[in-house]
A and B are shown apart, each in its own frame.
Chain A
Amino acid sequence: MVLLQLLLNGIVTGCALGVVAVSFALVYSTTRIFHVAHAGIYTLGGYLAWSCVTHGVPDPVALLLAMLACTLLGALIQAQLYARLERRGATHLIVLIASLGVLAVIQNVIAAVYSPNILQFPSAWAAGVVAVGRLRLTYAQIATLGISLAAFVAVLLFARLTLLGKRIRAVASNPFLAEITRLEPRRVYIYVIGIASAVVCVPGVLVPLDLGLQPYGGVTPLLTATIAMIAGGVGSFAGAFMLSVAIVVFQNLSLLVIPGEWSIGITFFIFVVFMLFRPRGLFASA
């Protein structure tokens, strides 16, 4: 029973991280920017939703408002920071450092405005428990599972079926060709980071609904998501999502046989060994 519960909890958390990985993969595979500030947007989304909820806004509306705000912030970062740096010939390293700077600013502004305390959502429904036999899931976990899966499917469908999705894939595939065929890559980059920011806001709100908010809480999920994206194969959304779930489930289940302090170390050791044999990732396209 403990094994089943650990598996279930791992799948829930893995799905949330999978959405972070997919959104990060969307940015990285299109813009080639290592958008570390994504972790800040993930965190900010939760805090904005928390503010709305504490002011009486219903939880679903709070989520949508937070997504909207994150979309605007993401687009702003691309249009006013990354694009400017690119125009001035900045290297990827410079852009990474700038992104780290944005992350630090977001985290510290959040800590200054909301305090560094761990904040809990005042949504009593989220703590309710559904028990099937001895298996237990909170409503917040069930919402996380359902909405994360829906967000993942939505991103896949968006990329494959919509005009903008196809345009993004074209730009990701060959930015130079996209430029001369008037697909306007720079504008697409703004759309991409805006959309990815909205997507990452979903787990940014749902996870804290269950586990609470912390100003510095976005970095660890982004780290795991980044590893999942690389191991899954850069450019493969399904790979990033599945590897996220696999990593978290493995971490959870490994507790049954090894002490917790070894869990993360062994998981990432396996990742390193895996990358030695398959450096392009599990689902990389040729």
Chain B
Amino acid sequence: MRGRGCFWLVAAAGCAWLIGAAISPAGAETIHFGAIVPLTGPGAVIGNQEMRGIQFAIDQANAKGGVQGNPVQVQFEDNQAKPDQSVLSFNKLVDLQGVPMIFTGYSGPTLAMAPLATRKKVLMVNAGAQSDRLGTASPYLVNTIPSTSDEVKVMVRYLMDHGKKTAAVLYENDAAGIGGRDDFVTDYQKAGGKITGQEPTQFGQTDYRPALLKLAGTNPDVLYVVITAGMVPLADQLHQMGGHWLVAGSTFMSDPQAIADPSSTGLIHTQVQVNAPPELAAEFQKKYGAEMDFFARQYYNATQIILTVLDKVLTEKKKVTGQNLRTALFEIKTFQGLIPMEFNSNTATVPIAINEMRDGKDVTLTTATAQ
């Protein structure tokens, strides 16, 4: 009796396998990608937005049957925005999981992983970090966000057109902040402006008063800010100081909480124009109970690009490797996602706006490109 039970069990399993093989596409298998973003620590605000943007795009693709019948999964690793932790996560994803492509963010961690990406031929896609060095850090690192220098060029042109000839710089003392500071100082001086002072802050710091006081003492027309976290306390402290300078910055400033803060009124910043259609934003809001903000849109867009690239690789019946994904990306070159994007180099060319925070809203004043 027991032997007969086993026979029927094996027979049923065999039938199920045959039926499954008949209805699923030939060779369909789950494709694994990785993402190394900060999910804890001060960078987690942005890291969680990035994770949601990626997962939202992946879920949409899988709901439509995956890419050519292949479901896609992204394994998320928490790097706490730290370079050393990022390298460990990279090795884990590549050596143990064998992923051919990794989403990254934050300049320091991405720069730390770039040599590994070159050596192991793993495609890295950065949609959030903007250090200039990212453009040439690795042939396997592509950036779907313009570098700080592109944004700085647009801002410097705007400031000069509006007669702002002296500037002080408040920057975060890390790869992103120092890169932004250097770009601004170089371009501003080249355009005929004078730098009156520079002061660093630490990542995650919220007491800016000493640095602001010192910079205010140099009487600049403009305070250029390059920090990636702590925009709300900065806006509050600037407001309390009652300075008579124009405060300017980059996309880093586009923290939704800062935009909503009344103290931010009058702050201007460059902004990559990546907008979500209302129905997409509503679906995101419904799923996560949160607004689809800048970094979620950026990483959603980057994921769509990678899914398009994956589709091409699978169509050409090539193996899904970092090398093949990279080749396909540059062959496609132009993408029409949430924002028109062209890859003439490792960093995409995209339109950049100058926005002003005004009464809880981010209002576009003008749009340009770095070129």
Contacts and interface: CB of A to CB of B under 8 A. Distances in A.
A212 B232 contact: yes
Assign chain A's interface to a size class.
Answer: 20 to 34
Interface in B173-223: 173, 198-201, 204, 206-207, 209-211, 213-214, 216-217
B257 A117 contact: yes
B282 interface: no
A136 B232 contact: no
B291 to A, nearest CB: 13
A94 B139 CA distance: 48
B233 A116 contact: no
A211 B213 contact: no
Interface stretch (B3-11, B38-46, B302-310, B328-336): B38-46
Interface in A128-148: 129, 136, 138
A9 B206 contact: no
Contact of A2 (B48, B206, B217): B217
B42 A255 contact: no
Assign chain B's interface to a size class.
Answer: 20 to 34
Given A6-B213, A120-B232, A129 B242 contact: yes
Given A120-B232, A211-B206, A261-B200, A2 B216 contact: yes
A212 B42 contact: no
A116 B211 CA distance: 25
Contacts of A255: 199, 210-211, 213-214
A214 B204 contact: yes
B371 interface: no
23 contacts: A2-B213, A2-B216, A6-B214, A10-B210, A13-B207, A111-B44, A116-B45, A116-B48, A117-B45, A118-B229, A118-B230, A118-B232, A120-B232, A120-B261, A136-B240, A211-B207, A214-B204, A216-B42, A255-B210, A255-B213, A259-B198, A259-B200, A260-B199
Given A116-B48, A216-B41, 18 more contacts: A2-B216, A111-B40, A116-B40, A117-B44, A118-B42, A118-B257, A120-B232, A120-B261, A127-B239, A127-B263, A136-B241, A251-B210, A255-B211, A255-B214, A256-B214, A259-B198, A259-B199, A260-B210
